[in-house]
Copies of this chain bind each other. A is one copy, B any other.
Amino acid sequence: MSRDAERAVVLLSGGLDSTTTLAIARAEGYLCHGLTVDYGQRHRAELASARAVADAFGVEDYKLLRLDLDRIGGSALTDPAIAVPEAPGEGIPVTYVPARNTVLLGLALAYAEVIEARDLFIGVNALDYSGYPDCRPEFIRAFEALARLATKAGVEGARLRIHTPLIALSKSEIIQAGARLGVDYGLTVSCYQADDTGRACGRCDACRFRSEGFAAAGIPDPTRYR
């Protein structure tokens, strides 16, 4: 199989980072398969955005899985009783969803195994980010080690790889990279409490990182605020 025919699974949230990650994976020549997980997140608009992004990029295939992680709760993103903070705080914020990236990468790994993809892409970023433990490089390396032990492909010697092209980029560098690749950020929703039409609050962590990123990149911010 030639390099440009390799399949990849790209986790898509509908946000700015995962959309840029998809643009990079496609630019690197992968046949991209999008995966979105409806885990009961508060910001439902991002699910529509994820599909719009997948459609805009013409992915090979796209899957939306449903998982009622809101039955476990423990996060402002999955428990309506916990408010989304509108000012920066200390430590790991309440928007952290317990073990989310472990579950998302596990599902991406399942999908990859079925379509015989060896490459997984996730748009984690450890610079302009909220301090979530499962966005750090050491977490990603540990998942990669796990993936090779967890799967039939790994047992058979495949070198499964977790690609994190954004991990060391600032938000403005991410936006600049996406803009060069023709990403329409108007399709994306970052806000943790976007309304049903995708309009952002302008006050949560995700909105703050996003708007500062566009300003620093010198690129017009297409975000619709309510």
Enumerate chain A interface residues (CB-CB to B < 8 A): 63, 65-69, 71-74, 92, 96-103, 106-107, 109-111, 113-114, 133-134, 136, 138-139, 142-143, 145-147, 149-152, 154-155
Q: Are B103 and A106 in contact (CB under 8 A)?
A: yes
Number of copies: 2
Asked whether A109 and B99 contact (CB < 8 A) given A67-B66, A149-B139, the answer is: yes
Residues of B within 8 A of A102 (CB): 102, 106, 109-110, 146-147, 150
Q: Is the interface of A mostly helix, strand, loop or mixed?
A: helix
Q: Are A152 and B67 in contact (CB under 8 A)?
A: no
Nearest CB on B from A18, distance (A):
19
Residue of B nearest to A38 (CB): B68
Residues of B within 8 A of A111 (CB): 72, 98
Q: Are A99 and B92 in contact (CB under 8 A)?
A: no
The complex places the Cα of A20 from the Cα of B67 at a distance, in Å, of: 27
A98 contact from B113, B136, B139, B149, Cβ within 8 A: B113
Residues of B within 8 A of A106 (CB): 99, 102-103, 106
Q: Are B114 and A133 in contact (CB under 8 A)?
A: no
The complex places the Cα of A102 from the Cα of B142 at a distance, in Å, of: 13
The complex places the Cα of A65 from the Cα of B98 at a distance, in Å, of: 15
A133 contact from B134, B138, B155, Cβ within 8 A: B155
Q: Are B66 and A66 in contact (CB under 8 A)?
A: yes
Residues of B within 8 A of A134 (CB): 149-151
